[in-house]
Amino acid sequence: ASKITDHGAIIISMVEYYSIITCPNCTYRKKEKMPKDSCLYIYKCSSCNTVLKPKQGDCCVFCSYGNINCPPIQEKLSQKNI
């Protein structure tokens, strides 16, 4: 996504679509593809079968347990920084 500022400059925001989720129960890590325009509320660990749900205040499991926030939050944060 890009945005043109008041001064005519073009700013390009890079959105990541992969995040590494770390299970808080067994510490297993797995790279997962994130949905582009929605949040994932339930995730089952492939190692120990623990069902993960977002922590209070987070919109999805990627924001709670991933190394990178979900794309909708990345977009919001990049717009705040412009």
| Residue 74 burial class via C-beta count within 10 angstroms: exposed 0-12, middle 13-18, buried 19 and up | buried
pLDDT at 2: 44
Residue 56: the pLDDT is 96
Q: What is the mean pLDDT of residues 57-77?
A: 93
How far are the Cα atoms of 8, 39, 47, 49, 77 from residue 58, in angstroms, in the given order? 35, 10, 23, 21, 14
Any idea which of 4-18, 43-57, 68-82 has the lowest mean pLDDT? 4-18
pLDDT band at 1 (very low <50, low <70, confident <90, very high): very low
Of 56 and 6, the structure prediction assigns the larger pLDDT to 56
Tokens of 31: 């790279």
For residue 44, the number of C-alpha atoms closer than 13 Å in the C-beta half-sphere is: 2
